Amino acid sequence: MTRRDLLQMSAAAALPQAPRRAPVINAAEHAWLVNDPRFPIRPELATCPKNFVNYDYSGEWLLHEMELYSHDYTVISHVCYYGRDNSYTVHCVKTWPRKFSGYGLLVGYRLYPPNDKENPSRLERLIKEDGLIGLRISPIYDRDVVWFNDPVCYPLWKKAEELGAVFHIFLAPHQVGQVADMARRFPGVTVVIDHMAMIDITAPDSDGFGPLLDLAKFPNVYIRTTMINLSKTKQLPYRDVWPFLRRLYDRYGPQRMVYANFFEYITLKEAVPFFTAEDKEWILGRTAAKIYRVRL
């Protein structure tokens, strides 16, 4: 290397570097194909056998949406149409590892029963061999049956701790206490509450929102934002949900909140008035990058 080369390198190093943009990460998006024989949708496996669609929402389409909305990464929530067959989510993650992570379906309603002794080993294969990051567990479909925090589930959660898994929990408001029990017992499992526990924004706090706020005392619990699901008006930008989003933000803080679904991105980025610029960096990407161990 010549003296001129060294001088040029030194000059380049002295130039001010543009600050790196915070990542933008969608933390929950489904993906499926309707007529691809490699990834058949089988009604006998689906956890939503009466709600099928007749159009694709493919990994390629997610990439298109990510480009449209200037996203860096998407976490795929394995769709109910496939049930416990996680093949398509695994395919997307392995085909585009720099763009997708995914979490699967294994245990619960129309899946493997909670007391199945093979569940821990299934989770291990899903993470170590298939490359997924955890599970979506949905006690909301068993509103009158308590199994989520039953001791038969402890081996699965213990294995999740060993693997550093992320569990997304889709639940009804009255089930929040079950999550509190498991979050306390297994602090090594990252728990993400989906859809803000589907709270009824017209109900008193005692019917679920108060316990959801109280979950903030467990540092392994995170909140996935949602508005359209909870809104009574269904009118953009879902202002009727903002007071509840604000209370969660005040209790959990932006570093324990993640955003999901492209159709809510602009509302969170541009409309919600109480998020600072730094808050948005965390909610729209930095928190997700941390908990899903995203490498861009």
- 293 vs 19, more confident: 293
Question: With bands split at pLDDT 50, 70 and 90, how would you rate the model's confidence at 271?
Answer: very high
Residue-level pLDDT at 259: 97
Give residue limits of the domains in the chain: 21-291
33-68 residue pLDDT tens: 999 999 999 999 999 998 999 999 999 999 999 999
Residue 262 CB neighbours (<10 A): 16
Long-range pairs of 114-120 with CB within 8 A, sequence gap ≥ 24: 114/147, 114/148, 114/150, 114/152, 114/153, 114/156, 115/150, 115/152, 117/155, 119/155, 119/156, 120/155, 120/156, 120/158, 120/159
244-257 residue pLDDT tens: 999 999 999 999 99
User: What is the Cα–Cα distance from 47 to 110, expressed in whole angstroms?
Assistant: 5
Can you tell me the mean pLDDT for 176-180? 98
Residue-level pLDDT at 274: 97
Can you tell me the mean pLDDT for 179-189? 98
- The chain-wide mean pLDDT, for the chain, equals 93
Give the three-class secondary structure for 223: strand
CATH fit for domain 21-291, picks 3.20.20.140, 3.30.930.10, 3.40.50.300, 3.40.640.10: 3.20.20.140
Peptide bond into 113 cis (omega under 30): no
CB-count burial class (<10 Å; 0-12, 13-18, 19+) for 35: exposed
Question: With bands split at pLDDT 50, 70 and 90, how would you rate the model's confidence at 21?
Answer: confident
Question: With bands split at pLDDT 50, 70 and 90, how would you rate the model's confidence at 19?
Answer: low
Residue-level pLDDT at 255: 98
Cα-based distances in Å from 79 to 44, 49, 109, 229? 14, 12, 14, 17
> Where is average pLDDT lowest: 16-25, 96-105, 137-146, 169-178?
16-25
Q: E strands within 127-281?
A: 134-137, 166-169, 190-193, 221-224, 257-258
Residue-level pLDDT at 117: 98
Residue-level pLDDT at 14: 44
Question: With bands split at pLDDT 50, 70 and 90, how would you rate the model's confidence at 8?
Answer: very low
